[in-house]
């Protein structure tokens, strides 16, 4: 059953989530989402600093001038909706069905952003003095290139020695129930583009050519079967995955002159970029290939070991919904990879992730209110 939305009948968190979802902020254009958040935060007394880099709008907002600093980090950009005709309701026209709020960005991560703001509104309107500061680091460049967003804001903060002590990233971390999983780290991500150079020729005269497809088979097999590490208590073993292979001219009587293969490493703290590159190139060199390789590091692995933030998160979740949370490092990358190297403790906590990036993305309405209460509990535990 689909209900017609009436903001007066929604909780403060759900109503704000609805307002954010209505804005078609497909990466990297926030379409005014940032301003909507800025207006709410400014009304609370936050000092807001818009930061535009390249074609991306970001902002840094801070309430208080002393440390420690608890930062809420997130992104207003969303991935494209896909075929709109396949959605039960238009992706940017929020709808409620059977207790769930539907719309692009509901779970990833406009629901979290709404909960962050209403949590601050609830705490700060109590008039309680804080032993430190609350901050927001918001970007519209997380789902896209991630070049002019959080990375640049962090560079700016570091240059003026403005430090984040604890950071809650609102990524949808939960699996089956709100708060059952929180991310305390992420694997690193390293991309490679391998070009194997051969000699083009006629298939009937292979002695006059050099087939890069044939040459690449064994080294790619070895790379796929290499045991890169065994992982550790916090991380699974490093994985290597080939994502694309391209070669050939499109006809069946020409030996191609090149093969291009794209691959990715998701790596644990047992390895680093240098070791991965050295071991990869050693395998390629064993087969005496003529090749070139381009590397792109998307992010280093990070792990929060200090228990101060983790305990505050764990206790707040248990207080609100009784869930015993499980720390995890699984999944892809997040903007936490840019924040953690500054020395900040980073935890990702948000709603269930089963529908993110899918048709009919949704979030449980009750989870939005519980998430706001959990965020409130974290603020009080760390700064009250």
- Catalytic residue numbers read 77, 142
Going along the chain, which residue ranges are E strands? 2-3, 47-53, 56-63, 69-75, 95-97, 100-102, 133-139, 166-169, 181-183, 185-186, 188-197, 201-202, 239-247, 254-255, 258-267, 291-299, 302-303, 326-328, 345-348, 362-364
Closest CA to 229 of 266, 271, 192, 190: 271
Contacts of 127 (CB under 8 A, 6+ apart): none
Q: Which residues contact 260 (CB under 8 A, 6 or more apart)?
A: 193, 194, 195, 196, 244, 245, 246, 247
Nearest Cα residue to 340 out of 310, 374, 378, 302: 302
Distance CA 6, CA 324 (A): 34
- For β-strands 302-303 and 239-247, DSSP reports them as unpaired
> At how many degrees (to 10) do helices 12-21 and 111-124 cross?
140
Q: How many CA atoms lie within 13 A of 367 on its CB side?
A: 28
332 alpha carbon, distance to own chain's centre: 7
Q: Find tokens 């984040």 and name the residue.
A: 164
Can you tell me the distance from the alpha carbon of 221 to that of 210, in angstroms, rounded to the nearest whole number?
A: 19
């Amino acid at each position: 059953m689909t209900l017609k939305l009436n903001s007066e009948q929604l909780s403060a968190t759900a109503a704000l989530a609805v307002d954010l979802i209505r804005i078609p902020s497909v990466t990297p254009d926030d379409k005014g989402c940032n301003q909507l958040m800025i207006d709410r935060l400014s009304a609370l007394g936050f000092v807001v600093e818009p930061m535009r880099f390249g074609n991306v709008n970001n902002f840094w907002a801070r309430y208080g001038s002393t440390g420690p600093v608890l930062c809420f980090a997130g992104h207003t950009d969303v991935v494209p909706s896909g075929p709109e005709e396949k959605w039960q309701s238009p992706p940017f026209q929020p709808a409620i069905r059977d207790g769930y709020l539907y719309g692009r960005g509901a779970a990833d991560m406009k629901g979290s952003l709404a909960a962050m703001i209403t949590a601050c509104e609830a705490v700060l309107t109590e008039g309680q003095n804080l032993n430190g500061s609350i901050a927001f680091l918001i970007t519209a460049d997380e789902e896209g290139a991630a070049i002019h967003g959080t990375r640049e804001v962090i560079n700016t903060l570091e240059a003026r020695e403005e430090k984040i002590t604890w950071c809650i990233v609102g990524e949808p971390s939960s699996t089956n129930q709100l708060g059952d999983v929180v991310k305390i780290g992420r694997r690193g991500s390293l991309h490679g583009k391998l070009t194997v150079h051969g000699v083009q020729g006629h298939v009937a005269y292979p002695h006059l050519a050099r087939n890069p497809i044939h040459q690449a088979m064994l080294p790619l097999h070895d790379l796929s079967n290499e045991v890169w590490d065994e992982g550790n208590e916090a991380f699974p073993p490093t994985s290597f995955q080939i994502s694309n292979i391209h070669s050939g001219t499109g006809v069946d009587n020409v030996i191609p002159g090149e093969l291009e293969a794209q691959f990715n490493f998701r790596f644990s703290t047992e390895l680093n970029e240098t070791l991965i590159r050295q071991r990869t190139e050693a395998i390629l060199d064993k087969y005496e290939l003529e090749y070139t390789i381009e590397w792109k590091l998307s992010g280093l692995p990070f792990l929060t070991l200090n228990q101060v933030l983790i305990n505050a998160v764990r206790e707040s979740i248990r207080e609100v919904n009784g869930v015993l949370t499980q720390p995890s490092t699984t999944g892809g990358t997040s903007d936490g990879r840019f924040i953690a190297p500054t020395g900040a403790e980073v935890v990702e906590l948000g709603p269930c992730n089963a529908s993110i990036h899918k048709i009919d993305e949704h979030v449980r309405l009750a989870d939005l209110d519980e998430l706001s209460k959990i965020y409130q509990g974290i603020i009080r535990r760390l700064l009250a």
